[in-house]
Structure 1
Amino acid sequence: MKLSKLCKVGMSFLTKPYYRTRVLIKSGYYDNLSDEDFLKKIFPKYMGYPLDLENPKTFSEKLQWLKVNYRNPIQTVMVDKHEAKQFIAERVGNQYIIPTLAVWDSVEDIDIDALPNQFVLKSTHDSGGIVICKDKSSFDFEAAKAKLSASLKRDYSKIAREWPYQNVPRRIIAEEYISELGSDDLLDYKMFSFHGEPKLTVVCSDRFSKTGTRMNFYDINWEPMGIHFGHYPPLPNEFPKPATYEEMKRLTAELSKDCPFLRVDFYEIKGRLFIGELTFFPGAGLETFRPMSKDYELGEWLHLETVHRS
């Protein structure tokens, strides 16, 4: 690493608590702490206020409570990017599944020649372990293997104590590449459901732009909610309600009917819906809401008194 970059990294570590916390987590510095002690220690560093697990009020606090107190084995299946497809197919039908091309236990097993010209590679047990190939003739397979190999070594459950990922088999899957014709920025619709009732949708855009991902929040009536979430500011222009919105709500209600909270991610391609993944802890519950009143508003929808500790 060049000296100038090393100095910049060092200064960030010393002066930026958020950055320092992330580095210490990834280095394993907090690994010996219990989940509760870990979350109480890092939550204020991310969120700016102490974590109250005895009387949580905000949505972010209640997600941490669920990490510690609610553990249903089906959650491990639902976050597994391979096994979740069977769960989704059984609940709502396999027409919503992005087709799987292959599954491997190691990056060395990947048969690039057997894949089509366009495809997506994903690790099954984490978030961010993804590689997109739009053209095999220019695809850097060695760089892809390096990224996926690093992903397979990572215990994603340790980063923010999202326990469902702990027992997910670490594998690589290849999926069909899906996109809107002529667009590299496929909109991602993320629907939040509380106790089986869809309540809001986040539209993610600009995911591959230099400016970074944008997130626009809409309530159940598709009215803008005015939320700035973490490091993902909303776009100033609003998005039209998707043609498949009512179908999204129906599918989300069915998939989340046994869950205190669930986020269901959708893609709409030529009028057809695909389900990307299922998530229990958006942003690990460690991304700020501005205004903070929205964190309390969402918190009111999550009724922990009805949740049985497990």
Structure 2
Amino acid sequence: MKNRIKNAIKTLLRRLLGMKLYEVFMATRKLGYIPHIRHPRSFNEKILHRKLYRWKEIPPQLADKWAVREHVAKTIGPQYLNEVYGVYERAEDIDFAKLPDSFVIKGTHGSALNIFVKNREHFDKKTIRDQCRRILSDRYGYFSNERWYLAIPPRLIVEKLIFDGTLPMPVDYRFFVFDSKVGFVEIDIGRGTNDHTLTLVTRNFDILPFRQRYPAIPDLQKPLLWDGMVALAEKIGAGWDAVRVDFYSPNQQSILFGEITFAHTAGWCPFTPDNADVELGKFWKIP
């Protein structure tokens, strides 16, 4: 009910203000400053600029959780893809009896549209199917102006659940690639817990003095397969002035592709201190 009310308010605002003023309103509310979208300087401003003025450049298939796998397989090889158990257009078509004890269901047409099942014996099929229907009906990208997502056919992809030591969720390595070179990396550890940390580092794994949402780990150790992930991210990100390429490294023994993102947090997530947004924006040279 709460989400329905929020979405109704956003829909009304979008209609009353128009797309550009709505974007300015939402970004100002989230970032704490009025963004200069036409002539952007900060990292978030450049994301907003992409959403409003350059969104047609983004091929929807690269943001599609299922379709992107073909591109990744051709670019770096199929060995970096997570195992897929099935892809479905309807929740009713998922045969849970054929799935392993643990798995994850993702919406192919957005981000954070996930259902994690760690033990098949302790879940309710009806509840899961209802959640799947909500994912399929989600018009992801509409309220955030990420219009390329609206061109992706809504589907459900069921994948192997990645385990990473004793962590409840695998460490998420988010590589920000600019003109074929990694500029900085966001390392998410402990997502979904009270111990969630988010550390920003350089390509060479120097800890950056910037923060976004969560506390950082000042003495975070360089992962064993770091150099390999950097090289793979730069291969996938080649040809783009800015793109985010995500990887996992389960137990630091292998590398698995996560996703490609063209508008990190929709450009609505503030950095601290105040100069961080502009400093990170210097990596991105808009053509």
User: What is the letter of the counterpart of residue 54 of structure 1?
Assistant: R
- 2:203 alignment partner in structure 1: 220
- 2:54 alignment partner in structure 1: 70
**1:226 deviation in Å?**
2.0
SS state at 1:156 partner: coil
Q: Matched residues in 2 for 1:28 and 1:154: separation? A: 14
Q: 1:25 to 1:259 in 2, by over 3 A?
A: farther
User: What is the letter of the counterpart of residue 249 of structure 1?
Assistant: V
Q: 1:12-70, CA deviations, whole angstroms, 9 ceiling, x for partnerless residues?
A: xxxxxxx9xx9256652234354323212221111121121222111110111011222
Q: Is the contact made by 1:121 and 1:172 (CA closer than 8 Å) also made in structure 2?
A: yes
In the alignment, structure 1 residue 289 sits paired with structure 2 residue 274: no
In the alignment, structure 1 residue 177 sits paired with structure 2 residue 168: no
SS state at 1:216 partner: strand
- 2:191 alignment partner in structure 1: 207
Q: Matched residues in 1 for 2:230 and 2:8: separation? A: 36
**1:99 deviation in Å?**
1.4
User: What is the letter of the counterpart of residue 97 of structure 1?
Assistant: L
Q: 1:26 to 1:121 in 2, by over 3 A?
A: farther
Q: 1:61-113, CA deviations, whole angstroms, 9 ceiling, x for partnerless residues?
A: 01110112223565311110111111111111011101111011011111111
In the alignment, structure 1 residue 250 sits paired with structure 2 residue 228: no
- The CA RMSD over aligned residues, in Å, is 2.1
- 2:35 alignment partner in structure 1: 51
**1:147 deviation in Å?**
2.1
Q: Percent identity?
A: 24
SS state at 1:240 partner: coil
In the alignment, structure 1 residue 106 sits paired with structure 2 residue 87: no
1:35 to 19, 25, 48: 19
SS state at 1:233 partner: coil
Q: Matched residues in 2 for 1:122 and 1:116: separation? A: 16
2:108 to 108, 116, 124: 124
SS state at 1:221 partner: coil
Q: Matched residues in 1 for 2:231 and 2:32: separation? A: 36
Q: 1:242-264, CA deviations, whole angstroms, 9 ceiling, x for partnerless residues?
A: 11111111111111111121111
Q: Is the contact made by 1:189 and 1:265 (CA closer than 8 Å) also made in structure 2?
A: yes
Q: Matched residues in 2 for 1:66 and 1:73: separation? A: 9
**1:181 deviation in Å?**
4.1
SS state at 1:202 partner: strand
In the alignment, structure 1 residue 273 sits paired with structure 2 residue 255: yes
Q: 1:149 to 1:27 in 2, by over 3 A?
A: farther
Q: Matched residues in 2 for 1:258 and 1:291: separation? A: 31
1:158 to 127, 142, 146: 142
Deviates more, 1:162-171 or 1:23-32: 23-32
Q: Matched residues in 1 for 2:214 and 2:166: separation? A: 25
Q: Matched residues in 2 for 1:41 and 1:235: separation? A: 29
- 2:181 alignment partner in structure 1: 197
SS state at 1:157 partner: coil
Q: Is the contact made by 2:200 and 2:216 (CA closer than 8 Å) also made in structure 1?
A: no
User: What is the letter of the counterpart of residue 268 of structure 1?
Assistant: S
**1:152 deviation in Å?**
1.4
SS state at 1:159 partner: coil
**1:274 deviation in Å?**
0.1
**1:237 deviation in Å?**
4.9
Q: Matched residues in 2 for 1:36 and 1:74: separation? A: 19
**1:164 deviation in Å?**
1.7
